[in-house]
Copies of this chain bind each other. A is one copy, B any other.
Amino acid sequence: MAPRSLIELAEALFRPRAVALIGASGDPAKNTARPQRYLRRHGYAGRIVPINPGRKEVLGEKAFATLAEVPGEIDHAFVMIEEVERALEECGAKGVPVASVYSNGFADAGPEGAVRQRKLVERARALGVRLLGPNSMGVVDIPGRLALTVNAILEMERPPAGGTSIVSQSGTMLGTVLSRGAARGLGFAKLVSVGNEADLGVGEIVELLAADPGTRVILLFLETIRNPEVLAAAARKAHAAGKPVVAYKLGRSALGEALARSHTGALAGSDAAADAYFRDCGIARVDLLETLVEIPPLLEGREPLNLGRAGRVAVVTTTGGGAAAAVDRLGTLGVELASMNDLTMTATNESYGATLERLLRSPDCDAVLAVVGSSAQFHPQLAVEPILRAAASGKPLAAFLTPQAEESLALLAARGIAAFRTPEACADALAALLRWNAPRERPRPAAPVVQVKTDPFEFFAALGVPVAPWQVAHAPHYAHGIDYPVAVKAAGVEHKTEKDALRLDILNRKQFDEIVPAFGGVPLLVQRMESGLAEAIVGYRNDPVFGPLVLVGAGGVLAELYRDSAIRCAPVSAAEAEAMIAEVKGLAPIRGYRNLPRGDLASLARVVSQVSSLALVPDVSEAEINPLLVRSEGVVAVDALVAFKE
């Protein structure tokens, strides 16, 4: 029976009263014996039912040949056999509401596997069974003592229970975060390996965790985003429930992106688009893997800061070099020091504590960083103890301990104080905190009235974008009514720098007639020459991974080479577009740089917002104005393209 509500799904997934282990091995050295061993080892209180046609008993539990023979209800099946389809049928027949599938050979194994996976999901829907995986390492609930997983990390004794849950597209990395955190005394709640996300994906699990009383922070290890809308909605629910969501996502480099594609069978999406997406959802993003382990106490119980400016940190330290290492890194991440004097060197318990208290009360900083040098290892009474004492303030506090100092780290963890082993993870976490925003209120503009399958200039003019006057002139006379000077190109040819099919600055009809024969009789687009203070590019894309995106950047070859642009989830308001424009370095010359004349940024922002409203026109896959000339008053599009869905 399919679970009828989120609560029932959560119960079956995380709190099953009975689990069936389909393919459980009697050889304790095998991976397929692990779930049974781990369930027992970590004190699972429910019923464990091994399914193994070759044995009457598996590792001390009565075994059954098939699910059908099992008396009583099964809430959750863990499937480890190759014949996943057969196991699914048994689950359906038995009325098992959830099956976690460890077996692989589906979308992870190329196109044929993807077809097999689609069929599996269809059948699961028909049977009323929800699927986790395939290629999932399973589910762990540490306070609930459920270790339904093959992940070898569960060999560990007593992982600490806490309020941090993690959802991972990599089963191994789920174990990595648990193992690193446990060694530091950082406790966890639920850990879910989503595998191929055929049915229950990251978004569905985040939705469950948003409603889970035991979860206070949600961590995500992502290689791709398979269902951005579901995750976006779930992240908003988590925000509403006061639960920060933090993502570590691969695909920062082209190499990583290609790898994610080959490894997960899914597109990774561009990294800038991922940033835009996380920002839209109110998900904090970290750069370093260790930050994901260390950041939860910094965010727990906290609302997004919504600073809208660079964050400011004040620092108290016993070591100049250690503080400088963290502050230097903060500087590369755009964070500022509250004041240079707030890097306070002090080495006694009293002065360190007093300084820390003063900074935590100061209105001049958004967060406080407490750095402790060598004393953190053998003399915690000097500077670690004042940090433990100071924690009650409402201001975010992060501690960076420069030496190996496991006891001090454990003391801080026990008090719920965020502590970091490296200056880089410390800076990464503080920067993520300081740029963390609530989920964006998406504007809801009316859908623009545009004609699909039309000429790009017509298209953008209909959207309300000022376009340089143009006309298509035809053989033999090439009559047109555009005022000179004009530009001429073969109609329908894109990327002018790659083709020699563009002639600029044609001053009069005589020059026009001279150049026409070179085009060989094709129709010509004749456009009035325009000039502006700067060139901009405004683009829209319905991204296959992240959905509708809008982009603004500086125009021209150099800006293209520098990949200098701002991206957001579309649509955006004109005010949001102005914030985007402010991020583009290459538009600095028209923002008032070295006394250069200012461009009409309000008109540029209006065009960005208009183009972003294409998110409401499902037929458009891509659209771009390049260049849009920005003048001291107004803007004008001089080249454009638009692509429609097939």
A-side interface residues toward B, CB under 8 Å? 151-153, 155-156, 168-173, 175-176, 179-180, 182-183, 221, 223, 250-256, 258-260, 262-264, 288-290, 318-325, 327-332, 335-337, 340, 343, 373-375, 377-379, 402-405, 421-424, 495, 497-498, 554, 556-559, 561-562, 564, 585-586, 588-589, 593-596
A327 (CB) vs chain B CBs: closest residue:
B259
Report if A172-B404 is in contact (Cβ < 8 Å); known contacts: A155-B377, A558-B559.
no
Q: Are B179 and A253 in contact (CB under 8 A)?
A: no
Contacts beyond the supplied A250-B325, A259-B327: 10 A-B pairs with Cβ under 8 Å? A172-B374, A175-B374, A180-B403, A250-B321, A251-B328, A253-B330, A256-B332, A289-B422, A495-B594, A561-B585
Q: Are B320 and A263 in contact (CB under 8 A)?
A: yes
Cβ–Cβ < 8 Å partners of A253 in chain B: 328-332
Cβ–Cβ < 8 Å partners of A321 in chain B: 168-173, 221, 223, 250, 263
Q: Are B152 and A256 in contact (CB under 8 A)?
A: no
Nearest CB on B from A56, distance (A): 29
Q: Are B259 and A156 in contact (CB under 8 A)?
A: no
What are 21 A-B residue pairs whose CB atoms fall within 8 Å in the complex? A152-B375, A156-B378, A168-B321, A172-B321, A173-B322, A173-B402, A223-B324, A252-B328, A253-B330, A254-B331, A256-B332, A258-B340, A259-B343, A263-B321, A288-B424, A289-B422, A289-B423, A289-B424, A497-B596, A554-B558, A558-B589
Give the docked Cα–Cα distance between A639 and B70 (Å).
88
Q: Are B337 and A255 in contact (CB under 8 A)?
A: yes
Q: Are B330 and A255 in contact (CB under 8 A)?
A: yes
Point out which of A179, A259, A343 has the most chain B C-beta atoms below 10 A from its C-beta.
Answer: A259
A221 (CB) vs chain B CBs: closest residue:
B321
Give the docked Cα–Cα distance between A404 and B322 (Å).
24
Cβ–Cβ < 8 Å partners of A402 in chain B: 172-173, 175-176
CB within 8 A of A322: which of B170, B322, B554, B564?
B170
A585 (CB) vs chain B CBs: closest residue:
B561
- Can you tell how many copies of this chain the complex includes? 2
Nearest CB on B from A266, distance (A): 12
Q: Are B175 and A403 in contact (CB under 8 A)?
A: yes
Give the docked Cα–Cα distance between A288 and B423 (Å).
8
Give the docked Cα–Cα distance between A161 and B403 (Å).
18
Cβ–Cβ < 8 Å partners of A498 in chain B: 594-595
Cβ–Cβ < 8 Å partners of A262 in chain B: 340, 343
Nearest CB on B from A351, distance (A): 15
Give the docked Cα–Cα distance between A180 and B404 (Å).
5
A427 (CB) vs chain B CBs: closest residue:
B253
Q: Are B289 and A176 in contact (CB under 8 A)?
A: no
Give the docked Cα–Cα distance between A333 and B263 (Å).
21
A317 (CB) vs chain B CBs: closest residue:
B172
CB within 8 A of A252: which of B221, B259, B318, B331?
B331
CB within 8 A of A290: which of B176, B328, B422?
B422
Q: Are A256 and B377 in contact (CB under 8 A)?
A: no
